[in-house]
Structure 1
Amino acid sequence: MRVLIAGAGQVGTKVAAELDTTHDIVMVDVDTDRTDRLDYDLDVLAVPGDSSSIETLRAANIENTDMLIACTDSDEANLLTCATAKSLADVTTVARVKDVKYIDTWDQAENVFGVDFMVGTNLLTVAAAAGGTGLSTAQNLDVFAGGRVQMAKFKIRPDSTIAGQTIRAADRFDSLTFVAILREGTTIIPTGETRIQPGDSVVVVGASGSVHDVGTAITPGEQDPTNILLIGGSDIGYQIARLLEDRGLRPHLIESDADRARELSERLSATTVRTKDPGDSDFLENERMTDVDAVVAALESDSDENLLAALRAKRKGADRAVAVVDNGEYVELFEDAGVDAAVNPLRATAAEIIDFVRDQGTLNVALLDDNQAEVIEIQIDTNSVLADRPIREGIHDLPEGVVVGAVTRNGSLLTPRGDTVIDPGDNAVIFVDSDVVEETISRL
């Protein structure tokens, strides 16, 4: 396949490095120093220029390109690049964006922006950072449908409140589906009478609040952090605060810019926003860090400051510290230095794009860490075996080991049951046994 990558930064070069052995890669960037280096570092064709311009795209032979991946640092440039490419050629387009508003618009409106697949850098970061605070006891945690749907895998301890219960008895959570049980290397697709045993891992898909509730019920005695401090009112910090509010928490957020702090205070109903300078040496002394369960350092594009803020909080008594880093090479360094979790948005974004290139029919892919199964998000078209049929009928035309975990329609979440009819255009989040992924995608 011929793949054109717009943007030769960290994301673009990582994607190219993963794909250049199996695909013909063309890279476009306005920085001629970058394009000159590409000729030596990777097996790609480098084209200097503005990827959103018709002239540059034609110079890169867009007419004979199968896929365009727009992953520059600018959301607007990426969207314009995709729209321009669509006007010139029949090409599959992928756009990296940071602002969640673009994901919400794309998720709710068909054929908008000329984008076939959208990757939300900040959304991926928010999910990873929230998981890093210990908010979930899940072994796996991934987000789908613009953050409205989560997938999580939980280990069942002997003292779990659902150990020994049937799925029918345990299934008491709104907007949630128990899609699988992993037991001694075997994947079990449960029925209502399947009994959950200690030592099992259960996989659930549903609304984020319900996934959080089931995690609390599964692991009694483990208290989620309640006193959470967010350092930095960047868009990532804001989105983390929103996620925490959705879970019934009341976090504290520190922002040095008074105007930004005022804006965030108006937008966040349950978050205490204060104007303080995180770089002030007296800042943490006044925060009673021994009472803080978790700190997330999410200052705007400043890995060094995030590292220092997280380490200072940890040393002053915070139980857990999470730092957002803008360079993937820093992740292990931060964690070696004492940060509990370092989250790199660019690494996560590149991985998401690579997954899509390898499985183009899907909108999102999450691989369980034991490689037994995948959870995929896919848009249902008119030729899908699930289209215009109750799930209990359509599921018989799919391989064994497939469960519909959630459905989103026009931005709203539906909890799928046997009589749920899936419409063309709906997005379905589906649990699939790894052995039948390709066959399942082809039928969907």
Structure 2
Amino acid sequence: MRVIVVGAGQVGSNIAASLEHDHHVVVVDTDPSRIEAITYSHDVLTVQGDGTAIETLEEAGIENAELVIASTDIDETNIVICGAAKAVGDPFTIARVKQTGLLRTWERSKGAFGVDFMVGTNLQTAQSIVRIAGLPGAHDAETFAGGLVQMAEFEVMADSPLAGETVSDADRYESLTFAALLRGDDIIIPAGETVIRAGDAIVVIGSVESVRSFADFVTPPPSLEDVREIVIVGGDEIAAQTARLFEAEGIDTRLIEQDPARARELAETLPETLVLQSDATDIDFLVREHVDESDLVVAALDSDEKNLLVSLLAKRVGVERTIGVVEASEYVDLFETVGLDVGVNPRLVTAEEITRFTRARRTENVAMLESDRAEVLEIEVGSNSVLFETPIEEAIADLPDGIVIGAITRDGELITPRGETVVEGDDHVVVFVDTRVVDKATAAL
């Protein structure tokens, strides 16, 4: 399939990287330095030019394109790109937008603006924050099979009770599969005797209850069910959407915004959130308002450095857990090392959502881990699958290394896979897959 990606920034580059092995990808950007960088780093064709111009789209091969992804940093530009693509061809169009208002307008009339699918960066980021907040210690989380199955990734700290245990010793949870260990640049498919080390990231798949129990064991702070109060620092759209989602969960939420006019606006639009107008980098204010008594602080200010500072101040006054918005993806690991518990990068979240949608044509759902080093797929089993009416221990021999069957759902019930488990037609399987073998895996499954 010919795919045109307009915008070679972080979002566009990540999308191109995830699609280049399966599709004929053309990347368009006005910036010559970005075009040069992506030409040497990815197996894609490039066109330097304005993606809103018909001539540029024609040079990119719009007449043969099946998919156009508009991923520049300007919402209106992305919408115009999709409209221009529809004017000269008939591709499926995807637009990235930051403004949730534009997303809501499009949702009321899908197909408007010439956009077939719209991804809201701010809303996706807020949803990611809330998912992670629900699992203490989790760096990533996603649900599958209509909520029956959950995947989560946890970092094993030096003082974790898991450090030094074998997988068989750690496997004490009902309906839970230890899918993989991410150790440095290596992806390890664990056996019973595999030793879990400090610094590993561990990926588990199973029932929501088992994953939550595992999370409580790995990191004792409370899960979202037990959270009583959350403090959000910042008043931008990500902060507002996050507060709105926490409101829907019935959680007491306080939001701190320095600008008086914006604080007043948020107070009017978030009726269940207590909005405080102040500078959250003032440690005396944090002490005076008993921020230390909150279960979680979400830092969503207008700069990465401010978000790190707020997180460190929150830790200093006694807050157990912090989540921060980190716009520069290269800072995420650094910030998590020096004190931020979880960094959420809006551009990576958006790129993953767009890639997930493109992959969904072959699978029911997709979650990407560690910037697409690995994927967790939900696939409905048909008669042409190697799993069809076959015990897993036999079927796995016909699959490439790097695949783990994490969970099975059948008629609304969860089945924990074992070697002797026979997969039936129409079962949904949730599978961990090393990205290097994802093409072979999806073809076989």
Whether TM exceeds 0.5 here: the answer is yes
- 2:104 pairs with 1:100: no
| 1:245 aligns with one of 236, 244, 247 | 247
Aligned counterparts of 2:206 and 2:147: Cα–Cα separation in 1: 17
> What's the offset of the Cα at 1:368?
9.8
Q: Paired residue for 1:56?
A: 56
Q: Is the partner of 2:263 in helix, strand or coil?
A: helix
Q: Paired residue for 1:203?
A: 207
> What's the offset of the Cα at 1:318?
0.8
Normalising to structure 2: TM-score of the pair? Answer: 0.66
Q: Paired residue for 2:20?
A: 20
Aligned counterparts of 1:247 and 1:136: Cα–Cα separation in 2: 17
> What's the offset of the Cα at 1:118?
2.9
- Counterpart amino acid of 1:227? E
In structure 2, do the counterparts of structure 1 residues 35 and 237 end up closer, same or farther at CA, with 3 Å as the change threshold?
A: same
- Is 2:132–2:138's contact at 8 Å kept on the other side of the alignment? no
User: Which deviates more from structure 2 when the two are superposed, residues 352-361 or residues 133-142?
Assistant: 133-142
Q: Paired residue for 1:337?
A: 338
- Is 2:7–2:27's contact at 8 Å kept on the other side of the alignment? yes
> What's the offset of the Cα at 1:319?
1.1
- Counterpart amino acid of 1:257? D
- Is 2:257–2:277's contact at 8 Å kept on the other side of the alignment? yes
Post-superposition CA distance 1:381-437 (Å, at most 9, x none): xxxx9xxxxxxxxxxxx97897599xxxxxxxxxx99xxxxxxxxxxxx954449x9
Question: Equivalences for 1:146-295 in 2 at 5 Å?
Answer: 152=150, 181-182=175-176, 202-203=206-207, 223=222, 224-280=226-282, 282-295=284-297
In structure 2, do the counterparts of structure 1 residues 95 and 294 end up closer, same or farther at CA, with 3 Å as the change threshold?
A: same
Post-superposition CA distance 1:195-224 (Å, at most 9, x none): xxxxx97536xxxxxx9xx969x9899742
> What's the offset of the Cα at 1:82?
1.4
Q: Paired residue for 1:325?
A: 326
User: Which deviates more from structure 2 when the two are superposed, residues 49-58 or residues 126-135?
Assistant: 126-135
Post-superposition CA distance 1:30-71 (Å, at most 9, x none): 223323443444343332332122232123221122321111
Q: Paired residue for 2:348?
A: 347
- 2:119 pairs with 1:119: yes
Aligned counterparts of 2:84 and 2:148: Cα–Cα separation in 1: 33
User: Which deviates more from structure 2 when the two are superposed, residues 285-294 or residues 250-259?
Assistant: 285-294
Aligned counterparts of 1:368 and 1:351: Cα–Cα separation in 2: 9
| 1:374 aligns with one of 369, 374, 377 | 377
> What's the offset of the Cα at 1:225?
2.3
Q: Is the partner of 1:90 in helix, strand or coil?
A: coil
Q: Paired residue for 1:425?
A: none
Aligned counterparts of 1:114 and 1:317: Cα–Cα separation in 2: 50
- Counterpart amino acid of 1:94? I
- Is 1:228–1:251's contact at 8 Å kept on the other side of the alignment? yes
> What's the offset of the Cα at 1:278?
2.7
- Counterpart amino acid of 2:23? H
In structure 2, do the counterparts of structure 1 residues 433 and 274 end up closer, same or farther at CA, with 3 Å as the change threshold?
A: closer
Q: Paired residue for 1:313?
A: 314
Q: Is the partner of 1:360 in helix, strand or coil?
A: coil
Q: Paired residue for 1:80?
A: 80
- Is 1:135–1:225's contact at 8 Å kept on the other side of the alignment? no
In structure 2, do the counterparts of structure 1 residues 149 and 82 end up closer, same or farther at CA, with 3 Å as the change threshold?
A: farther
Aligned counterparts of 1:404 and 1:113: Cα–Cα separation in 2: 40
- Counterpart amino acid of 1:267? T
- 2:34 pairs with 1:34: yes
In percent, how many aligned pairs have the same letter? 42
Q: Is the partner of 2:256 in helix, strand or coil?
A: strand
Q: Is the partner of 1:251 in helix, strand or coil?
A: strand
Normalising to structure 1: TM-score of the pair? Answer: 0.66
Aligned counterparts of 2:88 and 2:51: Cα–Cα separation in 1: 13
> What's the offset of the Cα at 1:311?
1.2
Aligned counterparts of 2:368 and 2:12: Cα–Cα separation in 1: 22
In structure 2, do the counterparts of structure 1 residues 138 and 431 end up closer, same or farther at CA, with 3 Å as the change threshold?
A: farther
In structure 2, do the counterparts of structure 1 residues 5 and 363 end up closer, same or farther at CA, with 3 Å as the change threshold?
A: farther
In structure 2, do the counterparts of structure 1 residues 42 and 183 end up closer, same or farther at CA, with 3 Å as the change threshold?
A: closer
> What's the offset of the Cα at 1:78?
1.4
Post-superposition CA distance 1:238-276 (Å, at most 9, x none): 111111111111211011111111111001011111111
- Counterpart amino acid of 1:64? N
- Is 2:54–2:84's contact at 8 Å kept on the other side of the alignment? yes
Aligned counterparts of 1:315 and 1:237: Cα–Cα separation in 2: 22
Aligned counterparts of 2:116 and 2:239: Cα–Cα separation in 1: 28
Structure 2: 5+ residue runs without aligned partners?
153-173, 180-203, 390-406, 414-426, 433-437
User: Which deviates more from structure 2 when the two are superposed, residues 266-275 or residues 109-118?
Assistant: 109-118
> What's the offset of the Cα at 1:86?
1.7
Q: Paired residue for 2:366?
A: 365
Aligned counterparts of 2:232 and 2:151: Cα–Cα separation in 1: 26
| 1:298 aligns with one of 282, 289, 300 | 300
In structure 2, do the counterparts of structure 1 residues 358 and 130 end up closer, same or farther at CA, with 3 Å as the change threshold?
A: closer
In structure 2, do the counterparts of structure 1 residues 219 and 337 end up closer, same or farther at CA, with 3 Å as the change threshold?
A: closer
- Is 1:255–1:276's contact at 8 Å kept on the other side of the alignment? yes
Aligned counterparts of 2:304 and 2:176: Cα–Cα separation in 1: 38
In structure 2, do the counterparts of structure 1 residues 368 and 341 end up closer, same or farther at CA, with 3 Å as the change threshold?
A: closer
| Root-mean-square deviation over aligned CA pairs | 4.5
- Is 1:367–1:375's contact at 8 Å kept on the other side of the alignment? no
In structure 2, do the counterparts of structure 1 residues 10 and 368 end up closer, same or farther at CA, with 3 Å as the change threshold?
A: closer
- Is 1:124–1:143's contact at 8 Å kept on the other side of the alignment? no
> What's the offset of the Cα at 1:350?
1.8
- Counterpart amino acid of 2:294? V
User: Which deviates more from structure 2 when the two are superposed, residues 277-286 or residues 329-338?
Assistant: 277-286
Aligned counterparts of 1:13 and 1:32: Cα–Cα separation in 2: 14
> What's the offset of the Cα at 1:230?
0.5
> What's the offset of the Cα at 1:277?
1.9
